[in-house]
Every structure is written in C-alpha cells, then in structure tokens.
Amino acid sequence: MTSESILAIGSIALDYLELPSGQKGETLGGSLTYFTLAAGSLAPVHPVGIVGSDFPEEGMKLFAEYSANHDGIQVAEGKTFRWGGKYQSDWNTRETLYTELGVFENFNPELSKINKTCSYVYLGNIQPSLQTRILQQIISPKLVVCDTMNLWIDNFKDDLMKVLSEIDILLINDSEVSLLMGVSDPFEAGRKILEVGPAAVVVKMGSHGSALIDKGNLVNVGVYPVKRVIDPTGAGDSFAGGFLGALSMGLSIAESMLWGTATASFCIEGFGTEAMRELTLTDIKERKNTVRNLSKLP
Ligand code: AMP
C-alpha cells in the first residue's frame, strides 16, 4: 500500500510525568513527537515544530529517523517547551502541573516549498490561530484533520470555530466536545459540530474507545486490551498518527480508527515515547485486526 505525504504541526516538549505506579521523571514528549513516531512507519511524515537550544540530540535523531523531511523542525535560541502532568489513580484524570512555552511562544513557521505541497494535513493540539496560519500556506490539501483541547476551547473559542469551518475531520475527547458545544451528551455535541464545517467528528473516549459521527453514521470502535498500562501520555497523538497514516493509504475513516486505536495501545505500554520507538508495521496490523474483531463495524 502506498501512502501520501502528511504535513503535521504540534508541540515538541520536554515532559515531566508523575504516574499512579509511582514512577516519575523527565522524558521527551509533545504532540508532534508522538504523532511523528506513530505515523512515521505508515507514511511519509513532514513534521513542523520548534525546539530550543537545550533540546537533546537524541530527540533530533528520532525526528530524522521517523520523518520523510524534518527540515520543518526549527532550532531557536532559548528553552524548549516544557509540560508537567500528574495522573490520578484512575489513570483517566490528569492534572497539568506546569506549562512553560519557551521558544514555542514565538513560533510562527513559514512552510518550505515541499511542505506546502503535502496532501494530508494534521493540525495538532496548538493555538487555533497558529493552526489557521499553517493551513493557509498549504497549496491544495486533500484532507485536513485537527485536534484541540480545553485550553483553546476556554480561551480562543472564536479562533477555534474558524479552524473548524475549514477542516474535514475533528479529533476530540468526549469531555472536550461537550465543553465546546455546551451539550452534555458527546454524541449530540458531535452532531452539532457537523453543522459548523467538518464532514466527520471522531470522539475519543479513553478506555471506552472512540466513535465516528458523520452525516449518516455513528460507528463505535473498541480498544485493544492492553495487559498493563504504564503511561497514557501521548495516547491521543499516537491515535492521530495511526489514523492519519491509514487515511493517507486511502483507507476509510472507520478503518483508519482501527489503525489509530492499535497505535495508541502501544504508546500506553511504555513511559513517555519508549514503547513507540519499537513499533513495527506488523505489530500495528496485528493489533488492528484484533480491534476490528472486538468492534462491531458496519
Ligand atoms: P496527549 O496525552 O495525547 O493529550 O498528549 C500529551 C502531550 O501534549 C504531552 O507530551 C505534552 O507535552 C503536550 N501538551 C500538553 N499541553 C500542551 C499545550 N498546551 N500545547 C501543546 N502541547 C501540549
């Protein structure tokens, strides 16, 4: 199967994590990092992001290894974006300990000629006005997928609504879709988003799987039964990577959700990005088939 190129934008971070297992420490993170590791074995990925002069060489090597073109990773004088997160014992509730923007604060990328011609676009979880500026630079995108979070819904809702009017698929958590549309039922909230612009909404429900809402359908996809969760950080971004990778192979949205689910299941089996670094295409395909058997796809 051949895949088309994916332009991806998001954060590259140095994370500090505290987990219910008692494990804690610093590690490489960021939405773009997880996305690139997840999609990199499925499609030619063109990541666009920024790091500071303190960013470890090891991180740069990973981007070089998993990207088709990593010229879009800018190195600027200053500190890399830092984020600290602490999980409650239920694994689902996460508290942000701190967010330090560093060089991310003045990030305003000018896309290279090659990056402007990518067919698939992933607007990772970043400020909506920056998502718009990126999208405006792509010459003729075939399909645009966007993610977001409560921070942007709370503080930049108008900018976010503008982004939504220009994309094809929104990836969003169940609590966030309700917050965005002011409707407690996530499925009803998802259907309301269809009126704003996207042809489809994929609602991520953590350990309860994901749901596709589009004009005709409501499709539920389950999760892969992971034996031991080590660290849920990056599961959403890894889902997005597997999902976009499959879409770029020409697969349907529902089928691509199986790939996203399989990819995310590996992410949560290791601390930070550890488990993602050992991922192979064969592993993803195997788990994707298991998820299909556990889900009732039409
Ligand atoms: P996820 O678990 O999929 O929601 O993604 C977690 C990643 O998102 C972490 O590695 C963080 O570095 C990154 N992150 C957290 N908050 C933000 C933010 N406000 N902007 C961009 N990236 C963030």
What predicted TM-score, i.e. pTM, was given to this entire model? Answer: 0.96
Expressed in percent and rounded to 5, the helix, strand and coil fractions of the chain are 40, 25, 35
- Supply 109's token pair: 């990328």
- Supply 236's token pair: 């959403």
Q: How far is the CA of 222 from the centre of ligand 1 (A)?
A: 23
Q: Could you tell me where the DSSP H helices lie in the chain?
A: 31-39, 57-66, 113-116, 128-137, 150-155, 157-164, 174-181, 186-194, 235-247, 253-267, 281-294
Whole domain around residue 46: which residue ranges?
6-295
- Give the mutation target among 11, 79, 261 for probing the ligand 1 site: most ligand atoms within 8 A of CB: 11
Domain contains 156: yes
Cβ atoms of residues 38 and 267 within 8 Å: yes
Number of structural domains, the chain? 1
Residue whose CA is at the smallest distance from ligand 1 atom 15? 83
Distance CA 267, CA 285 (A): 15
Nearest-10 crossing angle of helices 128-137, 157-164: 30
- Give the mutation target among 83, 152, 230 for probing the ligand 1 site: most ligand atoms within 8 A of CB: 83
Distance CA 73, CA 56 (A): 13
- Mean pLDDT split into 10-residue runs, the chain, 298 residues: 93 96 93 97 97 97 97 97 93 90 95 97 95 96 96 95 97 95 95 95 93 90 93 96 97 96 96 93 94 83
Q: What is the pLDDT of residue 298?
A: 65
Domain contains 1: no
Q: Which residues line ligand 1 (CB under 6 A)?
A: 11, 13, 15, 29-31, 83, 99, 125-126, 151, 233-237
* CATH for 66: 3.40.1190.20
- Supply 5's token pair: 């190129």
Q: How far is the CA of 96 from the centre of ligand 1 (A)?
A: 10
Q: How far is the CA of 234 from the centre of ligand 1 (A)?
A: 7
Distance CA 41, CA 96 (A): 30
Q: How far is the CA of 1 from the centre of ligand 1 (A)?
A: 31
Cβ atoms of residues 35 and 59 within 8 Å: no
Q: What is the pLDDT of residue 206?
A: 86
